[in-house]
């Protein structure tokens, strides 16, 4: 009798898990997927994705093909949102996935990352001059593409999502500034903006996995932790010290929209030795870690995107 009951209980748990994890299992990001994206974007063939280079054109084309294959449509006539940096032709890559709720789909969540990097260096280090930018920010780009794949396949998003890959971040946050101004002029109804930066290497000395810049500016950290059911996100004192909130592509969205617009990152410059260095290479990324954290990020993003009300709010609304 005991045996049968136990067997039955195990069977019920098995069925329960199978049902619960059906979507997650089929849509979960794989280590191979992440590795393929980072390896392509950070390969020597792409020459460090400097704005205006042939390499960044190849990177943009790769991103466009990925978005199209996930059924994420171009936000404008094409995926490319063009702007100029002096004489250089630059372009963000911008995709769109409409929400499935008739009311909530009028509100938009922007998920972004810069895909440019600093290109070729004058100084030769061990025969290498290519700053490949694997952590900065092929890893963030791969994170956004994983989100695009997840929501493109699942189509569970009630709010609409813009997937934005920015150029010319390394030239002074130019791409995000251009797009934030453009979307603001077009009266976009933005709820939040989440920017991903340097997601390729874990912290080793924290209770949390990822930091959120400008942590105290909103309740984003607490709300997202609630959706994941654990302390995935935390506050980094280093990020406060270096004011990282103002040093990435979230900032232009905050200044234009005065809504929660923050960067999620697993690096605050204390745990990676190759920032803006030719050794920021694909083989230095921890793909096991990346796949694990991205799979944890899905419920955080999905919870926020599908919440019935705008639960993430600014605490302080000054500049
Ligand atoms: Zn960066």
Any residues with CB less than 8 A from the CB of 13 and at least 6 apart, and which? none
Residue-level pLDDT at 18: 41
How many angstroms separate the alpha carbon of residue 265 from the centre of ligand 1?
A: 10
Of 111, 145, 116, residue with least CA distance to 132: 116
Q: How far is the CA of 138 from the centre of ligand 1 (A)?
A: 9
Ligand 1 center to 118 CA (angstroms): 10
How remote is the CA of residue 87 from the centroid of ligand 1, in Å?
Answer: 23
| Spans of the chain below 50 pLDDT | 1-7, 9-25
pLDDT the model gives residue 156: 95
Ligand 1 centroid distance, CA of 38 (Å) = 14
- What is the CA(116)–ligand 1 centre distance, in A? 8
Report CA(101)–ligand 1 centroid distance (Å). Answer: 34
Whole-number Å distance, alpha carbon 273 to ligand 1 midpoint, is 14
Cβ proximity of 181 and 173 under 8 Å: no
Report how far ligand 1's centroid is from the alpha carbon of 62 (Å). Answer: 19
109, 305 in Cβ contact below 8 A?
yes
Q: Is the peptide bond before 81 cis (omega within 30 degrees of 0)?
A: no
Task: Compute the distance from residue 60 Cα to the ligand 1 centre, in Å.
Answer: 16
Model-wide pTM > 0.75: yes
Tokens representing 207 are 């209770």
User: Residue 202 contacts by C-beta under 8 Å, 6 or more apart in sequence?
Assistant: 209, 266, 271, 286, 289, 293
What's residue 122's pLDDT?
86
CA of 230 to the centre of ligand 1 (A): 27
> What span, in angstroms and rounded, lies between the C-alpha atoms of 196 and 297?
11
- Whole-number Å distance, alpha carbon 197 to ligand 1 midpoint, is 6
Q: How far is the CA of 200 from the centre of ligand 1 (A)?
A: 12
Which domains are seen in the chain, by residue range?
33-306 (3.40.630.10)
Q: Where are the beta strands (DSSP E) in the chain?
A: 73-74, 80-85, 88-97, 108-114, 120-125, 128-130, 160-166, 190-197, 210-212, 233-234, 261-265
């Amino acid at each position: 009798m005991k045996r049968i009951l136990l067997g039955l209980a195990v069977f019920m748990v098995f069925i329960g898990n199978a049902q619960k994890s059906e979507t997650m299992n089929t849509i979960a990001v794989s280590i191979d997927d992440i590795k393929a994206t980072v390896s392509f974007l950070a390969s020597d063939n792409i020459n460090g994705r400097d704005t205006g280079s042939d390499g960044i054109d190849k990177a943009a084309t790769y991103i466009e093909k990925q978005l199209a294959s996930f059924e994420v449509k171009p936000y404008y006539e094409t995926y490319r949102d063009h702007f100029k940096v002096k004489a250089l032709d630059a372009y963000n890559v911008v995709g769109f996935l409409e929400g499935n709720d008739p009311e909530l789909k009028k509100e938009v969540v922007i998920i972004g990352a810069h895909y440019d990097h600093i290109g070729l260096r004058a100084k030769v280090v061990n025969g290498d001059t290519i700053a490949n930018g694997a952590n900065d920010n092929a890893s963030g780009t791969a994170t956004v593409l994983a989100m695009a794949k997840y929501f493109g396949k699942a189509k569970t998003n009630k709010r609409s999502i813009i997937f934005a890959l920015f150029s010319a971040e390394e030239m002074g946050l130019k791409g995000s500034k251009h797009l934030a101004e453009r979307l603001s002029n077009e009266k976009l109804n933005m709820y939040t903006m989440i920017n991903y930066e340097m997601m390729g290497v874990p912290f080793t000395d924290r209770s949390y996995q990822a930091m959120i810049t400008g942590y105290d500016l909103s309740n984003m950290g607490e709300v997202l932790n609630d959706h994941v059911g654990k302390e995935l996100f935390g506050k980094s004192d280093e990020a406060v010290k270096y004011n990282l909130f103002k040093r990435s592509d979230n900032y232009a969205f905050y200044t234009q929209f005065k809504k929660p617009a923050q960067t999620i990152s697993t690096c605050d410059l204390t745990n990676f030795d190759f920032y803006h260095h030719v050794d920021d290479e694909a083989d230095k990324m921890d793909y096991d870690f990346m796949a694990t954290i991205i799979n944890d990020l899905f419920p955080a993003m999905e919870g926020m995107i599908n919440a019935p009300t705008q639960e993430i709010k600014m605490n302080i609304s000054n500049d």
